[in-house]
Structure 1
């Protein structure tokens, strides 16, 4: 999937199902060091290719986070071989490559111990024109990591992966 050999993510929309499947493994990472962040970039201009998974090396685990659709996230463990080339659906014009610690602010959290991990949900309100009622939708959005005095989250930005270095008021954070 996504031009990555042997990558078969399962996408989640429900926080409880996600925590049931991944909660124990995520909890086991607490106390481990966040060693590296791997992201895909276009080789010619260095542009971050946010459509591809983001890989966090934490302790001895490789956490692979992906956002592919508006309201879904996927986490896999140790499936992606960073030595393999990313072949974006056979597009010969793209020259994508994995880069280590290439996003801004990595020095704030690389090599530091994870103190807390959170599952992040986003709420969105919509007005139903038929009955003028406000409905709230809750979407599974991402993962947050407290690392000493720093915070880093990886999250779905409507079908791509983004990063944030602070908590947002309009999001719901659930500690794993």
Structure 2
């Protein structure tokens, strides 16, 4: 993707994600969300949902990125959002880091009350998203999730859909 420091290790399933990142996500509790970054096209401002979303909790960066139908990568402090994104010269639009998003901005400055992993368990057995894992951050002002939008990231704000099974995290 041409993103400096982005070397994702994609995992599949709630157990693998919880084992690898559960305690570190839980340890963010009590920290303030001091910023975020996501990639947009310079020409039209559209979000590049295939690229990672970076959250800064008082200096601890958490990188979240979904791909394919069930893969999730979580990284810790690796991305330099001040660095230019390269390698897209073949594409007609220019990706760049953005620090503006109307869905995420209301949470900046708020203290994290809880981090959780959510597993999509729909009533419809044929739902191809079944088993995908979302990362949830809960603040006094509500919650936000980065979920799998079936081969890209999806940002959700507000109450989680009732077909998510919540997996609270502990340190």
Structure 1 counterpart of 2:20:
21
Q: Which has the larger radius of gyration?
A: 1
Structure 2 counterpart of 1:117:
115
Q: Which whole-Å CA distance do the structure 1 matches of 2:153 and 2:116 have between them?
A: 16
Higher strand content, 1 or 2: 1
Superposed displacement of residue 87, structure 1:
2.5
Conserved 8 A contact 1:72-1:139: no
Structure 2 counterpart of 1:175:
168
RMSD, aligned α-carbons: 1.9
Q: Which whole-Å CA distance do the structure 1 matches of 2:104 and 2:6 have between them?
A: 25
TM-score (norm 2): 0.89
Superposed displacement of residue 35, structure 1:
1.1
Q: Which whole-Å CA distance do the structure 2 matches of 1:114 and 1:83 have between them?
A: 25
Q: Which whole-Å CA distance do the structure 1 matches of 2:92 and 2:121 have between them?
A: 38
TM-score (norm 1): 0.86
Q: Which whole-Å CA distance do the structure 2 matches of 1:76 and 1:65 have between them?
A: 7
Q: Which whole-Å CA distance do the structure 2 matches of 1:137 and 1:150 have between them?
A: 24
Superposed displacement of residue 174, structure 1:
0.7
Q: Which whole-Å CA distance do the structure 1 matches of 2:129 and 2:48 have between them?
A: 28
Superposed displacement of residue 60, structure 1:
1.8
Structure 1 counterpart of 2:64:
65
Superposition map of 1:110-149 within 5 A:
110-124=108-122, 125-126=124-125, 138-149=130-141
Distance 1:139 1:43, change over 3 A: same
Q: Deviations over 1:53-101 (max 9, x none)?
A: 000001221101001111111101111111222235542522111011x
- How many residue pairs get aligned? The number is 167
